[in-house]
Amino acid sequence: MKLLTLEEGKKAVKLARKAIEIYLAEKKTIDEKLKGIFAEKRGVFTTLTKHGELRGCIGYPYPMKRLDEAIIDSAISAATQDPRFPPVKSEEMSEIEVEVTVLTPPQKLEVSPKKRAEEIEIGKHGLMVRFGPYSGLLLPQVAVEYGMDEEEFLTHTCLKAGLPPDCWLLNEVEVYTFEGQIFKEAEPRGKIVEVDIKSCSI
């Protein structure tokens, strides 16, 4: 699957910030169509951080919408709908860094549960666990940022889904991997860079 160029990544982050700031100020969802890769359906997450701490993160794991539409929706949702945090206020946006992660489609691990950990590459793969109505997803950068190994990454994804930590060892639980490309502001409203997931550094 085609990756985004740095210029396209910059457009993605600027679009996310614009969507949030206009929505917070005017309660209006922008309708902005971009060309090229932004017309393709892609999964995407928008992550907001404030002084190094998570402030909101919501997205689409599957390619259900055009990338530009998915960025706008996920950005507004990350700012206003993340149940872990109060809604972002307009005046906070000068302290918040915006990050956009564009995803490849999730691929189901077709191996026995005991071999699932062997199929995961830390720093490359994100994980999604599904069982009945339960599902949980962790982006690729999470395992690196928290120093997880493959089994810990599986365990935390199960917990994110509201399931027992070792549920990834069950046949009836589905585990998917995906990859992500991250673009973020180096500082609020500042230079936009692509992040090396493996080192989680700019």
- Cα 128 to Cα 11, 70, 121, 168: the distances in Å are 27, 19, 14, 10
What is the domain range of residue 66? 6-104
Q: Which H or E run contains 16?
A: helix 6-26
pTM value is: 0.85
Distance CA 96, CA 54 (A): 10
Of 39, 70, 104, the one marking the end of a domain is 104
Instruction: Say if residue 16's pLDDT is above 90.
Output: yes
- DSSP for 128-155, please give it: EEEETTEEEEE-HHHHHHTT--HHHHHH
Same structural domain, 115 and 56 = no
Same structural domain, 38 and 77 = yes
pLDDT tens string 117-150? 999 999 999 999 999 999 999 999 999 989 999 9
Q: Is residue 188 part of a domain?
A: no
Residue 201: pLDDT band by 50, 70, 90 thresholds?
very low
- Residue 133 carries which DSSP code? T
pLDDT at position 110: 97
Same structural domain, 118 and 86 = no
Same structural domain, 91 and 43 = yes
Residues, the chain: 202
Are 83 and 75 a contacting pair, CB within 8 Å?
no
pLDDT tens string 59-118? 998 899 999 999 999 999 999 999 999 999 999 999 999 999 999 889 999 999 999 999
Angle, alpha carbons 8-14-18 (nearest 5°) = 145
Q: Is residue 116 part of a domain?
A: yes
Same structural domain, 100 and 61 = yes
Same structural domain, 17 and 96 = yes
Instruction: Say if residue 1's pLDDT is above 50.
Output: yes
Same structural domain, 93 and 121 = no
CATH code of the domain in which 152 resides: 3.30.1490.150
Q: Is residue 186 part of a domain?
A: no
